[in-house]
Amino acid sequence: MTACPNCAQPMRAHRFRAALTAAPVEVDACPTCHLFWFDGTESLALDRQAVRALFTVIADSARQDRRALDSALSCPRCGKRLAFTHDLQRSTRFTYWRCAAGHGRLTGFHAFLREKNFLREPSAAELARLRELVRQVNCSQCGAPIDLARENACSHCRAPIALLDPDGVARTLRELDAAAPGSGPAAGGGDAAARAAMAQAMLDSLTASERERHREGRRGIDLLAVGAGALATVLGLWMR
């Protein structure tokens, strides 16, 4: 059992077959705090199934009240304080907390999606479309409310509004397939069809989430959680 370094509740364990290593990867997730814990120091070589499963975990967090992060977080294995770390992969900047003794690293859902190149900022046209569909969103990085009519970024943590990027997801899945030929190709046509299907699924899902938010009187929706749910569904259809 892994206790969440932020809320101390048991994290949910997810096991995956990794794309490039023989041993399965174990990932722990806290949907309340939007955190993943990855044991060890090996890079996160995930396959298509794992990406889909992690999207499902992220999507589930949309239905929970989010808990703010403490300023000091400790390693769930040794109890020592985790070091906040800035990293760079290709041209993508992202952050996480790591145990200096090498027990593992703690990554926010938002930072994980950024690290994997799954995020991008919406174009002007997409932002206009978003404003028609959705009134208020919660910042995917810190959870603070963002008024879409007035703001393009979170006034609390300055994270810009980000969407899951179907291009980035399609590109990464292609690379995963190339690295692990055994995992099987995507059905349902080429990249253009894949991107279009993912983009449409995200729009449909946003519209449905906004309706649900109204009905249940919830605060803003989390664009990434909604997008992750839509993409998990699309990926599931391809993998049958």
Is 127 within 8 Å of 152 (Cβ atoms)?
A: yes
Report in angstroms how near the CB of residue 114 gets to Zn ion at its nearest: 13
CB of 192 to Zn ion, least distance (A): 33
- Of positions 12, 81, 120, 156, contacts Zn ion by CB under 5 A: 156
- State the minimum distance, in angstroms, from the CB of residue 5 to Zn ion: 8
Spacing of C-alpha 160 from chain mean position: 15
Site for Zn ion in 196-215 (CB under 5 A): none
Q: Does 139 bind Zn ion (CB under 5 A)?
A: yes
Scan residues 96-125 and list those touching Zn ion (CB under 5 A).
99, 101, 103
- Return phi, psi of residue 159, to 5°: -65, 130
Our finding on whether 13 is near Zn ion (CB under 5 A) is no
Q: Is residue 3 a contact point for Zn ion (CB under 5 A)?
A: no
Q: Which is nearer to Zn ion, 156 or 171 (CB)?
A: 156
Helix (H, G, I), strand (E, B) or coil at 68: coil
**Which of 15, 12, 17 minimizes the C-alpha distance to 179?**
17
What is the enclosing helix (H) or strand (E) of 48?
A: helix 48-60
Q: Is 7 near Zn ion (CB under 5 A)?
A: yes
Query: Which position among 72, 157, 179, 239 is part of the footprint of Zn ion (CB under 5 A)?
Result: 157
Min dist CB 34 to Zn ion, Å, is 8
Long-range CB contacts (within 8 A, 24+) of 123-131: 126/163, 127/152, 127/161, 129/203, 130/161, 130/206, 130/223
**Element containing residue 35 per DSSP (H, E):** strand 35-39
What are the residues binding Zn ion (CB under 5 A)? 4, 6-7, 30, 32-33, 75, 77-78, 99, 101, 103, 139, 141-142, 144, 154, 156-157, 159
